[in-house]
Structure 1
Amino acid sequence: MPDRARVRIGEYGSVLLADSQLTPRDVKRLRALQARGRLGLEQIPTGWRLKAGATVGLLVLDRIRLVMEPKFALSGDRLMDWLAYALGAPAPLLVASRHWTTNPEGYADLVVAALLEQCEQLLREGLHRDYVRRQTLEPVLRGRLDVAAQATRRYGQLDKLHVRTFDRETDIWDNRILGTALHMARTLTTSPNLARGLHAIADAFPKAAPADAALHALDRTQYTRMNTRYRAAHTWARLLLRGGGVTDILTDRGTAADGLLLAMPALWEAVVRRLATDAALPHGMHTVPSSGAAGITVRGDLGITSAFRPDVLISLPGHDSTVRTLLPVDAKYKRYDRHGVGAADVHQLLSYSAGYTPSDDPRAVIVHPRTGGHSHRVLQVDSPRGSLGSIHVLGVDTDTLPQQATSWVGSVLPLANG
C-alpha cells in the first residue's frame, strides 16, 4: 500500500482525524489503549478526536503513522543514555556511520538502530551455537537411527532413514529472539539506511518466531558465561517486542505490537529508582521495597484496603541499629520547574514523611525532570501547632548524563554531608 501519512501530536495534546483515516481495526487498537488510560479517543461528527496522554512514541496504524512526541525535547544521544540507564542496559556505542539523532519518527528509530548495532556486533563475534535435537528423514545414516519410526513409517524400506541428530546450530532461542525483533524493526523504521542495514543481516539470524513465543523465551532466558554478550541485544529486542518502555504497552491485552510506545511516568519512575539506588550506596545506604509490610495502608473504609507506596524507600543509617529510618522518594513526571507542587502531591508526601521518617525531622523527596540545570527547593509545611514536615523538590536536568544526576540526588540525602 502507499506510504502512510504521518500524524504528529504532542504529549497531552490533541488532533482531529478524518473518519477515513482510521479503519475499524485501528479504532479497536486505540480503544484498547484508551481503556488503559494511555490516550483518549472520541467520535465526533466529522471523524475522531484523539487526545494524547503521557505515552509517547510511534504507533503504526493501517492508514497513518501516529507519532506522539514528549514534552521534553531531548537530543538522540541523551535520550539513549537515559533509556539505557532506566533499562539497566549498556549504552549503545557510537560508531562513525551512525549517530544517535532523532528524526521524524521520534525515538523509535533510535531503538531500532541500537538493536541493529548490537546484532551487527554479535555477527562479527560469531553467533552463539548450541546442541539442538532434530528428527529428520535422510538418505544416509546420520546420528542415531529411530528404529520405531523406521518400522512404523517406512515399513522396512531403507531408501530413507528416520534419524535423530544432535548438532550444534545457531537456530536457538538466543538468536530466534533477535530474528523476530529484527523482522518487527523493519515495519517500524522509515529510514533508508536502517532499512538497508536490517535487510543485510536479517538472513544471518534464524527465521522469525511469533512475537509471543519470542517474549516467552525472553522471560525464561538465563544468562551464563556462554551467552552473557547477548544481554544488551535482548534488552533492545524486548523493548521492541513488548511495544515499548519499561512496562508492557501493546502486548499484555491482546493488542498487536505494531508500534513503539513509552509510558513516560513509568520510565521516569524507573530512572528515579536507579538514581536513588546509585546515590545511596556511596553513603552506606540502600533501597528497600515499599510494598508489603513497608507500605502505608488504609483500612476500615468501604471497598478494598488501599495503600500509599512511595516509588523508592532509602534505608538510612541511624544511632540505634534496631530501628530502621526510611526516607521516601517519589518520582513525579511533572513540570515542577514551571509551576508549584500541587496540593494532592503535598498531602501524599506528608503522609510518606509521617509514616517513615522520625517525628523530629519528617521529610520526603520529590524528583522531577527539567531542563536548563538542576534545581533544589525545600517546601516547609507548618500548622498552628508547629512544623508538619519538609518536602525537598529536586529537579534533575535531563540534558546531563545520568551519572551526574546521581551525585546531585546524593547531595540531598540526610547524613550525606556528615
Structure 2
Amino acid sequence: MPDPTSVQLGEYETAVLEPDQLTPRDIDRLHALQARGCLDLIPDRTGWRLKADATVGVLLLDRVRVVISPKFAIPGEQLMSWLAYALGTPVPATARRWATGPDGYADLVASALLEECERLLREGLRRDYVCRRRVEPVLRGRLDVVAQTTRRYGQLDQLHVRTFDRETDIWDNRVLGSAIKAALGLTSSPDLARALHGIASAFPQAPTPSAAVRALDRSHYTRLNARYRPAHTWARLLLCGGGVTDLLSDHGTTADGLLLPMPALWEAVVRRLGTEAVSPYGGHAVLGGSGIGITVRGDLGNISAFRPDLLLSLPGHDEAPSTLLPIDAKYKRYDCHGVSAADVHQLLTYSCGYAAADAPGAVIVHPQPGSHARRTLQVCGPRGVLGVIHVLGINTHATPEQATAWIGSVLR
C-alpha cells in the first residue's frame, strides 16, 4: 500500500483536496472532528476544502496525512516547553531539540514518551502480583478445585492451579505499550521509529487503546508508581489524540492522529501562570472558581452561565479585605488589533459579578511573541467608569518561569 500523501497547512489556513483523496470513511471522521471544532470540511467544485481551526498536530487518514503546524503565538522551539508546563510534567530533553520538519510536534511528543520509557527501563519496570490460571504437573499456588473436578474428573496427573507471580504485565506498563504502538503510526522520523521499535517489546500492551485510556482514568499514584506519572502524561496525549489532561475526551472519533487545540492549551497555561504568579504575594486561586458562574435565568431554553477561566483571590492592603480578580485566557493576537466588543462585554460581566463594586476590574491574558506587554482599557458610561480591563500579553518566546515572574509583578 503506498504511503499517504502529505498535506501541510497552518492554523486557520485552508488546503484543497482532490475528490479521490478522501474515502467515505475519511469524510465521516473529518465530519466528527468538525463537530468538535477542530477543523472544517467544505465541499468544493473541484473536490474538498479543508480548513484548520486553532489546532496543530498530525491527522492520519486513509490516503492523506494532514500536518497542521503552529502559525503564530507559540513558536515551534517553545511549544513543548509550554505544553509540559500546562501538563505539569517535567520538560523533556527533546524540547531542546525541536525538529524543524513539518511533523516536529508529533515527533516530539513521541520522543518525550520514548525518553520517559527509556528512563523506566533503566530503573527497572514496576512488577506486581498477577493471577494466572494454568495446568501444571505439580502443585504451584492454589489448586482450582472447581476446574480440577469438572475438567479432570478427579485425575491428578495434571493440576489446574492459580499462581501469583510478580510480572511486568500490569496496567502501569500496558498503557505505555499501547502508547508506543500509537506513536509508531504517527512518527515520520526513521531514527525515532527505530528507537520506538527497540523498546516496544519490553512493554506489554492493553487489549485495545480504549482499554488503556480507561486504565489511565482509573490510575492512582502512590510511592510505588509515582515515577510513572510523566510517562503516563505523554501516553495520554498519544492515546487520546491530543489535548491537555482531560480537555479532549473520547467522543467516538476514530481518526488516528495527534491534534492539540491551542485555545485549550493556552487556558491551561494561564490557569497555572496566574496561580503560581500570585502565590508568593499571598494570593491564591479560588477552588472551584470556574464552577462559580454568573447565571442567566428566565429566558427560553436552558439556563446560561458565564465562568471565568481563572478566579484569583488577592490580599488587601493593611486591614482591607481580599478582592476577587477574574482572568480570561484569549488565544488571539491582541497585540496586533483591538479587543473585540464581545470580549469587552464578557469581561465587564465578570468584573461586575466578581470584583469589588468600588473598583470593578478584570484581566485578559493573550499570547504575544517577542515581548511582554500591558495596556489598560477603561470602559465609561454616562455616569462614570463601568470597569477597567487589563490586557496582558505574555511573551511566548520566553520560558514559562520568566512569564510567571512578570505576571506576578503586574498582578501584585
Report deviation, 1:352: 0.9
**Residue 37 (structure 1) shift:** 2.0
1:357, CA displacement in angstroms? 1.2
CA distance in 1, matches of 2:52, 2:94: 32
Give the match for residue 79 of structure 2.
79
Q: Is the 8 A contact 2:94 2:112 kept in 1?
A: no
Per-residue CA distance 1:211-254 (angstroms, 9 max, x = gap) = 11111110111111111100000000001111001166876221
Unmatched runs of 5 consecutive residues or more in structure 1: none
2:56 is the counterpart of 1:51? no
Identical columns (%): 68
Per-residue CA distance 1:135-193 (angstroms, 9 max, x = gap): 11123322122122111101233332211101111000000010000011100001011
| Alignment equivalent of 2:234, drawn from 215, 233, 236 | 236
The answer for unaligned runs of 5 or more in structure 2 is none
Q: How far apart are 1:315 and its partner, in Å?
A: 0.8
Equivalent position of 1:246 in the other structure:
244
Q: 1:89/1:173 Cα in 2 relative to 1: closer, same or farther (>3 Å)? A: same
Which residue is 2:224 aligned to? 226
Q: Tell me, yes or no, if the aligned pair for 1:241 and 1:257 is still in contact at 8 Å.
A: no
Q: Secondary structure at the match of 2:93?
A: coil
Name the counterpart of 1:301: 299
Aligned mates of 1:385, 1:317 — CA distance in 2: 29
| Structure 2 CA distance for partners of 1:64 and 1:369, relative to 1, 3 Å | same
Tell me if structure 1 keeps the 8 A contact 2:290–2:310.
no
Match of 1:330 among 319, 328, 331: 328
Correspondence for 2:3 = 3
Q: Among 154, 158, 179, which residue is 2:152 paired with?
A: 154
Q: How far apart, CA to CA, are the structure 1 residues paired with 2:118 and 2:21?
A: 37
Decide whether the 8 Å contact of 1:242 with 1:248 is kept in 2: no
**Equivalent in the alignment of 1:16:** 16
Which residue of structure 2 lines up, in the alignment, with residue 189 of structure 1? 187
Q: What is residue 32 of structure 1 aligned with on the other side?
A: 32
Question: Structure 1's 154 and 89: CA in aligned 2 closer, same or farther, altered over 3 A?
Answer: same
Return the alpha-carbon distance in structure 2 between the equivalents of residues 251 and 2 of structure 1: 32
From the superposition, tell whether residues 73 and 20 of structure 1 become closer, same or farther in structure 2 (CA, over 3 Å): farther
How far did 1:322 drift?
10
Q: How high is the TM-score relative to the length of structure 2?
A: 0.95
Q: Give 3-state SS (helix, strand or coil) of 1:408's partner.
A: helix
Indicate if the aligned counterparts of 1:137 and 1:160 stay in contact, CA closer than 8 A: yes
Q: Aligned letter for 2:23?
A: T
Contact 1:250 1:257 (8 Å CA) reproduced: no
In the alignment, the residues of structure 1 paired with residue 36 and residue 320 of structure 2 have an alpha-carbon distance, to the nearest angstrom, of: 43
Secondary structure of the corresponding residue to residue 3 of structure 1: coil
Deviation of 1:117 (Å) = 0.4
Partners of 2:267 and 2:75 in 1: CA distance: 20
Tell me the distance in 2 between the aligned counterparts of 1:143 and 1:27: 54
Alignment check: 8 A CA contact 1:242 1:257 kept: no
Which segment drifts farther, 258-267 or 245-254?
245-254
Cα distance in 2, alignment partners of residues 412 and 39 from structure 1: 36
SS at match of 2:404: helix
TM-score, normalised by the number of residues in structure 1 = 0.94
Task: Give the Cα–Cα distance (whole angstroms) in 2 for the partners of residues 412 and 74 of structure 1.
Answer: 22
RMSD: 1.9
Superimposed CA distance per residue, residues 26-58 of structure 1 (whole angstroms, 9 cap, x where no aligned partner):
101000011122211122232111111112211
Q: What code does the residue aligned with 2:308 have? A: P
Name the SS of the counterpart of 2:350 in structure 1.
Answer: helix
Partner of 1:290: 289
Q: 1:10-409 maps to which residues of 2 (within 5 A)?
A: 10-72=10-72, 74-93=74-93, 99-246=97-244, 252-288=250-286, 289-292=288-291, 294-318=292-316, 325-409=323-407
Task: Give 1:100 deviation, angstroms.
Answer: 3.2
Counterpart secondary structure, 1:214: helix
Query: Contact 2:136–2:159 (CA<8 Å) still a contact in 1?
Result: yes
Change (3 A) 1:314 1:412: same
The answer on whether the counterparts of 1:177 and 1:237 sit within 8 Å (CA) in structure 2 is yes
